[in-house]
Amino acid sequence: MLESLKKMFSGNEGDMPVSTGSKPDISREKSAELYEKAKNYFPGGVNSPVRAFKSVYGTPLFIQKGDGCFVWDADGNQFIDFCGSWGPLILGHNHPKVRDKVTEVMQNGMSFGAPTALENELAELIIKNNKFVEKIRFTSSGTEAVMSAIRLARGYTGKDKIIKFEGCYHGHTDSLLVKAGSGLVTFGETSSAGVPKSFAQETIVIPLNDKDAIKAAFEQFKGEVAAVIIEGIPANNGLLMQDVEYIKYLENICKENKALLIFDEVITGFRLGFEGAAAHYGVKPDIVTYGKIIGGGLPVGMYGASAEIMGHISPDGGVYQAGTLSGNPVAMAAGIAQLTELLRSGFYKELNNKASEFAESIQRFATARNYKLKVFHVGSIFWLAFTDKDKIQSADDIDPTSMEKFKVLHRELLNRGIYIGPSGYEVGFVSAAHTKIELEKAKRAILESLDVVFRNK
């Protein structure tokens, strides 16, 4: 398989004949009608802000169907999808084994608010194959998992303050919906209306990839820090890959200061490998959070830690956390089916090699054309960045004016049947459902679109 992929992507992409003209805009008539109607019901017409397409051209697409690596919108346009519901659909859309398991379980009911054997089955599947957790607690979203992990860290340590990093997103929980103030080490400033200043001031925000900043934070707030939280690999504001040595430094300084290290692996968990970024770096976080990939894309989250730390969660301990739909049987069924597939021998090797060849072939083309573009990638995650920097490791390294080029790229890709997230700060995902045929089609569409983007540079 690997050899065939190498042959497929080999050669000098710079010499490939590609289109130099824009494609006509696809029809969005029905999507536009639905969007106008949606504005009567939802703020901005959407139930999550990025869906409003404010960062790109045109009307939001209303998706009607997904199958394999494809999605179709309300106007019948077909796209090769690299969004994958923002990552969790690692097997692709509507995978038959996931669908069949969900259908089977739904025959017995869809929610009980009581324990089921399915919870045990999925938990055993995770814990037996992930050395970073000994006990877990299911939630209904990644945001809820992170919120609960923060509460657990505070309850376990008896401290209040949390250190987070500028450029890392951890859901919309109040204490983490903050941005950096002025200075190297600052209290967080609210980045959303409705977040009390007192909440934000329990969060210390520092720059990524800066040892002096983390050291200064611990010195300035000595004995007050409950935890440091970082995305496994920051992937909500570009793909900000950190050096292994820096992550290990975080692990060590947390131990020295009796603070917990929390890995938010809502994106990277079970995506880079079954043990996520923790295994990628060879670092043992104290608490790990995961998201919808463990439920095959259904609403679910999870946090886990050692048995000792998790023993502080109610009803065993004094840290209260609950959820009526936690461990929902339908989500558990989808998770069992999906994670069983991920444990198949060679799954990640095949997927990651395929994604790597795809990303590197685009980079070869851009380099041959002298285009100011870098394709950053890790595992099956990639990010198209309009930059000439070889490394982007902090939010400040991203040029906001480069998003104008992304707007053009996004429109050209849609017109060529390629769907990626509607923001230049978002990453893309290759799934097991992307075959070499679809990846070749997608690659050609991207190369054509890049020629359009840079034609009038």
Catalytic residue numbers read 169, 264, 292
Residues in the chain: 457
Closest CA to 293 of 175, 376, 378, 380: 380
Sheet harboring 186-187: ordered strands across? 135-139, 301-305, 287-290, 260-264, 225-231, 161-165, 203-206, 186-187
User: What residue has token string 């976080």?
Assistant: 285
Task: Assign residue 310 a region (left: φ > 0; alpha: ψ between -120 and 50; beta: otherwise).
Answer: alpha
Residue 343 CA to its chain's centroid (Å): 20
Q: Which two tokens stand for residue 198?
A: 């007192």
In DSSP notation, 74-99 reads: TT--EEEES-TTTTT-TT-BT-HHHH
Q: Is the dihedral of CA 169, 396, 82, 405 positive or negative?
A: positive
Closest CA to 220 of 152, 175, 161, 165: 161
Q: Which two tokens stand for residue 294?
A: 């463990």
Cα distances from 205 to residues 161, 167, 201, 214, in angstroms, run 11, 10, 10, 10
Sequence-distant (≥ 6) Cβ neighbours of residue 380 within 8 angstroms: 90, 271, 272, 351, 352, 354, 355, 429, 430, 431
Closest CA to 240 of 209, 272, 200: 209
Cβ pair 410, 25 in contact under 8 A: no
**Residue 70 DSSP SS3:** strand
Closest CA to 132 of 227, 242, 251, 246: 251
Q: Which two tokens stand for residue 238?
A: 């570009």
Rg (CA), the chain: 22
Residue type at 371 in one-letter notation: Y
**Residue 209 DSSP SS3:** coil
The H or E element that residue 428 is part of is strand 428-429
Cβ pair 301, 140 in contact under 8 A: yes
Can you tell me the distance from the alpha carbon of 50 to that of 421, in angstroms, rounded to the nearest whole number? 9
Cβ pair 195, 167 in contact under 8 A: no
